[in-house]
């Protein structure tokens, strides 16, 4: 059902990524990961997670693509289903400074929203980078967010549109040739009423053999203003198998 109703929206976003200058390097660098939890007995449960994160650089440009999904069933009833896609295109003035344009789409069936989408643009800086791949990026920008509710709110609205400000930081530290620590932070704040959507992902990755690795991650997401009967904060702890390319 998802593919019939909402798949075209994600497909359009992914297709847009391919429309690049003719001289662009087509070699992506990144990772794909997946995890599964199966429980039986008194509380049978199945959770499947998948994620792809890829980046390519050419000339003065850098492009990132991120796709995520999570699906959970308990006692043969769907209890969680979420699909997320985002892309960011950077133009680098020099090795440290860049401007960016970014788009994201989030479909969480149990959030009280049919979907949320945003587009932002702004300035970023690679504050420091080491030869082993360690780096710290920070960025600031502004844009627009569109949200559609599952049900009308107390004021009778079925959607919300806001100008937003965006802040983000990405830290990667190479603990050793086979282990990497990452901390990714982002927040989007409405410039009308200060409602915010924030996300923190903390992860530790350890190589197993060749291109295979194990990744332990903790994700915290907070929405300051949510529809009725929804919680403001979600947390996810995951252990996944990761393939780098």
Provide the 3-class DSSP secondary structure of residue 132: coil
Q: State the average pLDDT over residues 54-82.
A: 91
Cα first-last separation, the chain: 31
Percent of the residues in the chain that have a pLDDT greater than 70, as a whole number: 85
Supply 1's token pair.
């059902």
- How does pLDDT run across 172-196, given as a tens digit for each residue? 999 999 999 999 999 999 999 888 9
CATH code of domain 84-244: 2.40.160
**pLDDT value of position 113:** 81
- 186: which residues sit within 8 A by CB, 6+ positions away? 166, 167, 168, 169, 198, 199
Provide the 3-class DSSP secondary structure of residue 2: helix
> DSSP state, 17?
H
d(CA 212, CA 209): 5
**pLDDT value of position 43:** 60
Nearest to 180 by CA among 214, 211, 210: 214
Q: What is the pTM of this model?
A: 0.81
The per-residue pLDDT of the chain, averaged, comes to: 86
* CB-based contact 13:105 (threshold 8 Å): yes
Q: What Rg value do the Cα atoms of the chain yield, rounded?
A: 19
| 210 phi-psi bin (left φ>0, alpha ψ -120 to 50, beta other) | left
**pLDDT value of position 129:** 93
- How does pLDDT run across 206-241, given as a tens digit for each residue? 999 999 999 999 999 998 877 666 778 888 889 999
């Amino acid at each position: 059902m998802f593919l019939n109703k909402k798949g075209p929206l994600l497909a359009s976003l992914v297709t847009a990524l391919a429309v690049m200058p003719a001289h662009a390097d087509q070699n992506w660098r990144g990772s794909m990961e997946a995890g599964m939890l199966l429980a039986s007995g008194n509380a049978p449960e199945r959770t499947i997670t998948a994620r792809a994160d890829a980046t390519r650089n050419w000339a003065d440009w850098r492009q990132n693509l991120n796709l995520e999904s999570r699906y959970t069933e308990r006692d043969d009833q769907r209890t969680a289903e979420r699909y997320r896609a985002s892309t960011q295109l950077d133009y680098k003035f020099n090795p440290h400074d860049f401007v960016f344009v970014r788009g994201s789409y989030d479909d969480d069936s149990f959030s009280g929203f049919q979907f949320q989408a945003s587009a932002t643009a702004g300035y970023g800086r690679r504050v420091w980078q080491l030869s082993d791949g360690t780096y710290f990026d920070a960025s600031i920008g502004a844009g627009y967010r569109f949200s559609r509710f599952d049900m009308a709110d107390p004021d009778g609205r079925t959607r919300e549109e806001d100008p937003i400000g965006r802040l983000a930081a990405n830290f990667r530290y190479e603990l050793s040739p086979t282990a990497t620590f990452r901390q990714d932070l982002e927040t989007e704040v409405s410039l009308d009423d200060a409602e915010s959507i924030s996300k923190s992902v903390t992860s530790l990755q350890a190589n197993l053999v060749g291109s295979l690795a194990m990744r332990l991650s903790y994700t915290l997401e907070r929405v300051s203003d949510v529809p009725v009967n929804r919680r403001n904060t979600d947390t996810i702890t995951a252990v996944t198998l990761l393939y780098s390319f």
